[in-house]
Amino acid sequence: MKQPTAICPSILAADFSELGKELDRISHADAIHIDIMDGHFVPNISFGPMLAYAVRKTTNTPLDIHLMVTEPEAVIMQLAPLKPEYITVHYESCVHLQRVVSAIRANGSKAGVALNPHTPIEGIKYLLADIDLILVMSVNPGYGGQQFISSMLTKIADVHQMIQGRNIRLQVDGGVTQDNVGRIVQAGADMIVAGSAIFTAEHANNYIDTMRKTTS
């Protein structure tokens, strides 16, 4: 059965000089999406696991960590004491993906696998029992504020089909706004990440509420 849509603001788009206030602005969020980037797997560097610890000090909202790093194992171990609700790794960043997602679960988090726009979905077909979330990237990872790649609507529908009857969340990340979220959820997504759309809104919590309402 389809789960209610979860709205996950990406703090990559927050004003870091006012992080506490920014977190207050998104108190209606279902989870806080934290993009860790290492400058190798993606061309950009954002912040490390320490930021997730800082966010946890300020809020009890579940944490959804998106690792865009070449060697996620070390970061997963650094995050282990925090037990974030979700940790997601990229398909291309793991030579032994089943081992990595098992380690995430063993440390008490739910395990996600992210697929870049070009990544075929078949590669995770045999890991469906080992994962709790599939993240369909609807932009090339590395930066906020990019345009949603519309062909990803077909991919979302294909993933939705593949996970029928399983307890796996289908998350979409990149270029999501109030205008396209309806089509994305219609295609099968049940977890929505949005950075710039939410944080540039005058009332971020209202924006979150509208996104959730549009999709229910």
The CA distance from 88 to 113, in Å, is 5
Examine residue 66 and tell whether it contacts Zn ion (CB under 5 A). yes
Nearest residue to ligand DX5, by Cβ distance, number only: 195
CA distances from 171 to 120, 147, 177 (A): 16, 17, 14
What is the phi/psi pair of residue 169, to 5°? -80, 150
Judged by beta carbon, residue 20 or residue 145, the one nearer ligand DX5 is: 145
> Is residue 30 flagged as an active site residue?
no
Examine residue 190 and tell whether it contacts Zn ion (CB under 5 A). no
- The candidate with the shortest Cα–Cα distance to 46, out of 195, 206, 177, is 195
Examine residue 64 and tell whether it contacts Zn ion (CB under 5 A). no
Minimum separation from the CB atom of position 160 to ligand DX5 (A): 20
Minimum separation from the CB atom of position 114 to ligand DX5 (A): 8
The amino acid present at 144, given as its one-letter code, is G
Q: Which region, judged by CB under 5 A, interacts with Zn ion, from 65-73, 85-93, 116-124, 176-184? A: 65-73
Options 30, 38, 64, 173, the catalytic residue: 173
**Cβ 207 vs Cβ 169: under 8 Å:** no
> Is residue 35 flagged as an active site residue?
yes
Options 30, 35, 64, 190, the catalytic residue: 35
Q: Other CB atoms closer than 10 Å to residue 27's CB: what's the count?
A: 11
Nearest residue to Zn ion, by Cβ distance, number only: 66
Judged by beta carbon, residue 47 or residue 53, the one nearer ligand DX5 is: 47
- The candidate with the shortest Cα–Cα distance to 8, out of 104, 129, 118, 135, is 135
- Interface residues with ligand DX5 (CB under 6 A) are 10, 12-13, 33, 35, 66, 139, 141-142, 144-146, 173-176, 193-197
Q: Which residues are catalytic?
A: 35, 173
Residues that bind Zn ion (CB under 5 A): 35, 66, 173
